[in-house]
Amino acid sequence: MSPETLVKEAPVTSDFSIDDFNSHVMNTYARFPIALERGEGCRVWDTNGKEYLDFVAGIATCTLGHAHPVLIEAVTKQIKTLHHVSNLYYVPVQGELAKWLTDHSCADKAFFCNSGAEANEGAIKLARKYAHDKLNIEDPVIITAHASFHGRTLATITATGQPKYQKGFSPLVPGFVYVPYNDIDALELTIAEVDKDGRRVAAIMLEALQGEGGVRPGDMAYFQRIRQICDQKGILLILDEVQVGMGRSGKLWGYENLGIEPDIFTSAKGLGGGIPIGAMMCKAFCDVFEPGSHASTFGGNPFVCAVALAVCQTLERENILENVQKRGEQLRSKLTEIAEKYPDLIADVRGWGLINGLELKEDVELTSPQVVKVVMEAGLLLVPAGPKVLRFVPPLIVTEEEVNLALQAVENALKQLTA
């Protein structure tokens, strides 16, 4: 398929009305004016029958793309068997999923919930309980990074080092301090300042790669020094792998790119391939939860665990990480070529695997949402990561041809916008 035929028209299949939608649904998203109704592989179609190449994947969520046969089989089989029971009873497939995750990571235990925010909330609660129960810290402090993103609950927007997400929701949850990302001197100074105040740092919570903060990979030396500090001071290291985990970085977990192991880490998004599930995982020494400490009604029910297990097994069985690595290298190489053609417009190309960012220069008027709108008209879906970064997060099954089509659409858009 050539770039000129990236967009396909099909018969209109719906009488959906955006105006009707807006009259009944809360206005919590700045939605683009298209309505999607079906998908297959790395492509989706809107209610007018227009086809798009999907490089958003539900924001790094649709691991196996849309309508994958493995997902269809897992969903169909489980919904016919048992879809939900209480965690007051043992759920065998939940145990199978936990075993797969712990066998394929540094974790010993897993707690299941519904989303990344809930997984991070669980990690915060676990760190605080560990601080109280094991370290006798009455006023524990958790250090997070500026430009981070950890979720939308009150605790996780407080952990999120971006004031725009916190505006209008004060009073925020106490006990969080922020540092610049990838700046070890600032981190060590902050730990010392907390100690001077008579408090103690209980945990450091960071993303292995900052997604919403502009697709900024962690620096290996920075994280290895943090691991040393945590070991020396008895501080827990929490990694938020909600966006970068489950193979998106080219390795199963983002921390594998950094040469360290966290004490606690979280997963969601790609874990269920689009079915809502989150997981908070930890090493045995910090598993201080007990009956009544934490819970989730829907967390880890048979339906979501069966689908997530199918996703995990497919990643392994079909060696999808190899595709992530190859397509990621292809994507970054081509983006770098585009950047060299537009040196006055593009500041940087960066990322791991199939989470990549193209950063526009601060002193140019062009913004990432403007580019997103133009490529959308050409049949490509991209998502901004802030006002100056275009984020590329396609399904992990994306093909070489689809990467080339997407990048041609981007280059065509930049030509159009700078003409």
User: Binding site for N(2)-acetyl-L-ornithine: what residues are annotated?
Assistant: 152, 296
The reply to whether omega before 394 is within 30° of 0 (cis) is no
Residues 363 and 102: their CA atoms lie apart, in Å, by 46
Instruction: Give the residue ranges of the annotated binding site for pyridoxal 5'-phosphate.
Output: 116-117, 149, 240-243, 297
Angle at 120 between CA 309 and CA 300, to 5 degrees: 30
In which residue are the tokens 């689809």 written? 402
Angle at 231 between CA 226 and CA 234, to 5 degrees: 110
> How do beta strands 140-145 and 346-352 pair?
unpaired
Residues 116 and 241: their CA atoms lie apart, in Å, by 9
Question: Strands of 264-267's sheet, edge to edge?
Answer: 109-113, 278-282, 264-267, 236-240, 200-207, 140-145, 176-179
152 CB-contact burial (10 Å; exposed 0-12 / middle 13-18 / buried 19+): middle
Angle at 321 between CA 384 and CA 208, to 5 degrees: 50
In which residue are the tokens 């227009």 written? 50
Residues 163 and 147: their CA atoms lie apart, in Å, by 9
- Alpha-carbon torsion, ordered 241, 246, 247, 252, to 10 deg: 80
Comparing CA positions, the residue from 260, 310, 255 lying closest to residue 100 is: 310
Phi then psi dihedrals of residue 33, to 5 deg: -80, 55
User: What does the chain come to in residues?
Assistant: 419
Q: In this structure, how many other beta carbons lie within 10 angstroms of the beta carbon of residue 338?
A: 17
> How do beta strands 209-210 and 216-217 pair?
antiparallel
CA distances from 265 to 99, 157, 215, 242, 408 (A): 16, 18, 19, 9, 37
Instruction: Give the residue ranges of the annotated binding site.
Output: 116-117, 149, 152, 240-243, 296-297
